[in-house]
Amino acid sequence: MNGKFGLVPLLLLVLVLSSCRYLPQPTPLWLVDGFDFPVGDRNGKGWAVTGYQFLDWSTASQSWHPGEDWNIPGAGNADQGEPVYAVANGEVVFSGWNTALGNVILIKHNLTEHDSVWSQYAHLDQRRVATGDIVHRREIIGTVGRGPNNRFSAHLHFEIRQEDMPANAWPRTNGQAWTKEKVRDFWLHPTRFIRENRPQ
């Protein structure tokens, strides 16, 4: 009798463990669960693209602008030091200094096991993450700055890339600006992409 009833708890344990695979599993941290905006609240409230927009012609670089310049409207330099957030879960693939952009953070975001995009945050005052760090959506990764040697008014230069490129990539070759069509092969419209990929 004892041997027969000793099998019941074992069978129950096997059933419980085997059914676990059918329960919804949390999204692994290396996979995105949606995108939020890099400044302001999750919706970017209180901030706007007040400088160059995506694919505006930049007189500073004589090329098409591959990102967006975010700022609190009318704040001038008062938003220097405001937090900058990771737009999604990902891995920091670069955190360092760039002579053209100042402090830069570049994050790889895995949409699936095979598809990725990259977000880049430039002109930062501070970097609070290091290359190789895993970050979560809405984690503070740095603060708004003014670029190298305070070259610019305080703002966040923000990009979404669909190709793996170095942190200092810019849409020019030997000083010649790329066409808008070529820029679109490498960069995505940041606000449009985030709006289309909000958390569910």
Ordered DSSP codes for the chain: -HHHHHHHHHHHHHHHHHHGGGSPPPPPTTB------SSSSTT-TT-EE-S--TTPEETTTTEE--SEEEE-TT-TTTTTT-EEE-SSSEEEEEEEEETTTEEEEEEEEESSSS-EEEEEEEEEEEE---TT-EE-TT-EEEEEB--GGG-S-SBEEEEEESS---TT--SEETTEEPPHHHHHHHEE-HHHHHHHT---
Q: Is residue 9 part of a domain?
A: no
Q: Is residue 1 part of a domain?
A: no
Q: Is residue 12 part of a domain?
A: no
Which domain, by its residues, includes 92? Answer: 27-196
Q: Is residue 47 part of a domain?
A: yes
Q: Is residue 128 part of a domain?
A: yes
Q: Is residue 82 part of a domain?
A: yes
Residue-level pLDDT at 28: 67
CATH code assigned at 33: 2.70.70.10
Q: Please give the tally of structural domains in the chain.
A: 1
Residue-level pLDDT at 25: 56
Residue-level pLDDT at 20: 47
Q: Is residue 127 part of a domain?
A: yes
Please identify every stretch of the chain with a pLDDT value under 50, giving residue numbers as ranges. Answer: 1, 5, 11-12, 14-16, 19-20, 22
State pLDDT tens for residues 26-83: 656 679 999 999 999 999 999 999 999 999 999 989 999 999 999 999 999 999 999 9
Q: Is residue 5 part of a domain?
A: no
